[in-house]
Structure 1
Amino acid sequence: MKIKPRTGFALALILAVVLVLSACGSKEENANNAGNAGNAPANNAAAGGDASLDSLKGKKIALIMQFNQGTFSAQYVDGVKKQIEKFGGKVTVLASDNDLNKMVTNLDTAVNQKYDGILIDHGSADALTNGVNKAIAAKIPVVAFDSGLSVEAVTSLAQNDQLLAEKSLEALKKDSGGKGNIVKVWVAGFPPMETRQITYAEFLKNNPDIKEISQFGDANQAQLDAQTRMEAVLKQYPEKGSITAVWAAWDEFAKGVTNAIKQAGRTEIKVYGIDLSDEDLALIQDPASPWVASAGADPSSIGQVQVRYLYQKLHGDQTDATVQIEPVFVSRDALPTDKKITTAELGEYVKGWGTSEQGNTDYLKALEQSVGK
């Protein structure tokens, strides 16, 4: 069939336009595909892909501590350090020698030196809130432990201090038959011990046959001070049976009073403590020791959990405002008599003790594996 020249020209023009439009469409599609390909790593990063893991490596973390004494603190710091190393980061510990003014200065230093993240151990809200707000304004994430902080964007970890006190006091009540004279060792000004004191006061109110005959406590050189003060109390009450038990709101206090009681030969007096470390466990296992039980959480695990929540923040996650670490109760009766154990083995004998998965995520597990390679 013949096509007239004018008709042929029109068809050729239409065909050219179609080809141009097709080419433009192909270019636009290719550009969109290229854009999507460019966004893929970002999407993977949000889901915890390789780009996200790489961005979490090499972080510089500051650990601001109110005090760093005793085996509980040592094991807590060890947990923090090991977890940060597993994530490919590095931690600097800034201890404050139980001086809140120095702790405030250490916090300001960490902010000014632009650390990637800040961990806080103890302290008080009054002293630390301004410095923490500076960190948040500088986009430095903060996770605190036992500090009493209530600042938006900060995750605060705490042991269940009420339950810690309840578990240790109920054991004292059971062993004493609900009556007797007791000594309390604690110190004000620390959020966890303030909470434990509330539980203790309620306990005395509900158990009128249990009488407090003395109380003392000093956070500076806590173990030595507790030993010296307990020695004085033992001289004040020299008759056997005049003191039934000691309730210590911190394991450093428990170690001090235990030493005083052993040296005086007054092991009819039983000691009940809070917090637990390898050194504490050895004393509880010793059949000649007056320290018979303690409530606590694995200090190393606490450090690990705190680091995980900080890295969740570094990843851009929304984290809970408060996280509670559930404690366990450890008594001599639950421990082996034929060998000495450490807290690393304690989970074999006491349910609930040991490595915690709290705060862990799939991408943090992948980060550990990536760093390990």
Structure 2
Amino acid sequence: MKKIIATLSIASVLLTACANEQNVVSTKKSENASTEVKKVSASSNSEIPEAIKKKTKIALIMEFSIGTFSSQYIDGVKKQVGKFGGEVQVYNADNDLAKMASNLDTAVNSKVDGILIDHGRKETLEKGVKKALAAGIPVVSFDSDLNIPGVTVIDQDDYSLAWKSLKSLAEGLNGKGNIATIWVGGFTPMERRKVILDAFYKRYPNIREVARFGKASSNTMLDTQAQVEALLKKYPKGQLDAIFATWDEFAKGATKAIQQAGRNEVKVYGIDLSDEDLQLIQEKNSPWVTSAASDPGEIGEVQSRFLYQKIAGEETPDIYSLEPKLIEKEELPNTPIKVSDLRKYSNNWIPSQAATSPWMEKLDKGN
């Protein structure tokens, strides 16, 4: 009953948040694109489309590439595009939005066959994306706030990610305690996660946030580790119960700081998951106990498949959310595993079949 009540209490917040953010998207599209059961209109023909038979050139425009999550995401893109006989050019802007816009313009002028976008902001990307569409180059974006007809935008359902992790935190603290939040603004997924964080404190008034900090940099994990070390000195044993980390780079830094300080009574609840993260969670007495996530490699694969459907002239949705999963330390084995092994240990970790067309299997086998 407790779980049912908690879920119902947050449902209205989730619906309101999504409605406010996507008020220009029709109700029908929002309903259809929100879960893994979404069926994309695709050709029933198993013959490889003419537009795909040649060697395709794909540009991946990234706002940043930090940590193993980004690395596995890039690997997922390259793996899927490689299966289809294409090649990928990665453009990393190193957290410089002006450089990201310039990279997008370069890709369009290079006349690539398709463009994948990772993060970024609408005001920075909109001009370049419209230029790409005018040139007949399809675009699929991940974790951005773009809202341009013809562009498919996918995400991990950041509202659900935040709620799953925070709900686990609340249950771990039995609804009462002091926590710190590691969060940074200026990124679309972070702003969405903050919506749920704000609602969380209304749902659990006996959980008090004593500190909030965080920044994205070229050394995010090390910067976070230093910040958490200072936090632990300010709040000695008995004054801090948990840390909510809205990004796995934050969670890694927090975990290492807690371990070095011998403060394993402070638990870490995170978002996102990579092979490196799993190893850290699996360490004996690791304070990192839960993470809500999608497979970063799978995100890259799904995004790439949507792009190839567009190149083939098939209909794709304007928005699509992958269903996030909750991974808990207690369900993992003692021996180190990778994200690709999780399906053996967690009933939640089911591979996505989104954006698949009959001809893709034949194209894959041919390459």
TM-score range, shorter chain: 0.7 to 0.9
1:298 paired to 2:295: yes
Judge conservation of contact 2:51–2:312 (CA < 8 Å) in 1: no
- 1:360 corresponds, among 339, 356, 363, to 356
RMSD value, Cα: 1.3
* Counterpart code for 2:199: E
Listed as ranges, the gaps of 5+ residues in structure 2 are 1-42
Is residue 51–residue 311 contact of structure 2 (8 Å, CA) maintained in 1?
A: no
Letter of the 1:111 partner, please give it: V
Structure 2 counterpart of 1:351, which letter? N
Is 1:109 matched with 2:106?
yes
**2:269 alignment partner, one of 258, 268, 272:** 272
- Select the residue among 307, 311, 330 that pairs with 2:308: 311
Q: Does the CA contact (< 8 Å) of 1:301 and 1:354 recur in 2?
A: no
Deviations 1:143-180 (A, max 9, x none): 00001111110000001111101110011100101111
Aligned pairs for 1:1-373 within 5 A:
48=45, 50=47, 52=49, 55-220=52-217, 221-238=219-236, 240-337=237-334, 339-371=335-367
**Larger radius of gyration, structure 1 or 2?**
1
Deviation at 1:231, TM superposition (A): 1.0
Does structure 2 retain, via aligned residues, the 8 Å contact 1:53–1:363? no
The answer to whether the 8 A contact 2:162-2:197 is kept is yes
Once the two structures are TM-superposed, the CA of residue 358 in structure 1 deviates from its matched residue by 1.1
CA–CA distance in structure 1, aligned partners of residues 134 and 102 of structure 2: 17
Residues 179-222 of structure 1 show CA distances to partners (whole Å, capped at 9, x for unaligned) of: 11100001001111110000000001121110000011111121
Task: Give 1:285 deviation, angstroms.
Answer: 1.2
Deviates more, 1:192-201 or 1:53-62: 53-62
Q: Residues of 2 paired with 1:181 and 1:54: CA distance?
A: 57
Counterpart of 1:237, as a letter, is Y
Tell me, in whole angstroms, the C-alpha distance in 2 between the residues paired with 1:54 and 1:103.
28
| C-alpha distance 179-49 of structure 1, shift in aligned 2 (>3 A) | closer
Structure 1 residue ranges (4+ consecutive) displaced by more than 6 angstroms after TM superposition: none
CA distance, structure 2, for counterparts of residue 290 and residue 84 of structure 1? 37
Q: State the shift of 1:224 in Å.
A: 1.3
* Corresponding residue of 1:37: none
Asked if the contact 1:56–1:315 (Cα under 8 Å) also holds between the matched residues in 2, the reply is: no
Contact 1:80–1:300 (Cα < 8 Å) also in 2: yes
Give the superposition deviation at 1:51.
Answer: 6.0
Per-residue CA distance 1:77-128 (angstroms, 9 max, x = gap): 0000010010000000000101111100100000111111000001111211
Residue 222 of structure 1 aligns with an amino acid whose one-letter code is: T
Give the counterpart letter for 1:343 in structure 2: V
| Partner-residue secondary structure (3-state), 1:333 | helix
Percentage identity across paired residues of the two chains? 51
Deviation of residue 352 (structure 1)? 3.4
CA distance in 1, matches of 2:286, 2:143: 29
Q: For 1:171 and 1:242, locate their aligned partners in 2 and report how far apart those are by CA, in whole Å.
A: 20
Q: What's the offset of the Cα at 1:129?
A: 0.9
Following superposition, the deviation at residue 47 of structure 1 comes to: 6.0
Q: Secondary structure at the match of 1:198?
A: helix
Kindly tell me the number of residue pairs found equivalent between the two proteins: 324
- 3-state SS of the aligned residue for 2:326? strand
What secondary structure does 1:246 align onto?
strand
Matched to 1:316, the amino acid is G
Higher relative contact order (CA 8 A, sep 6+): 2
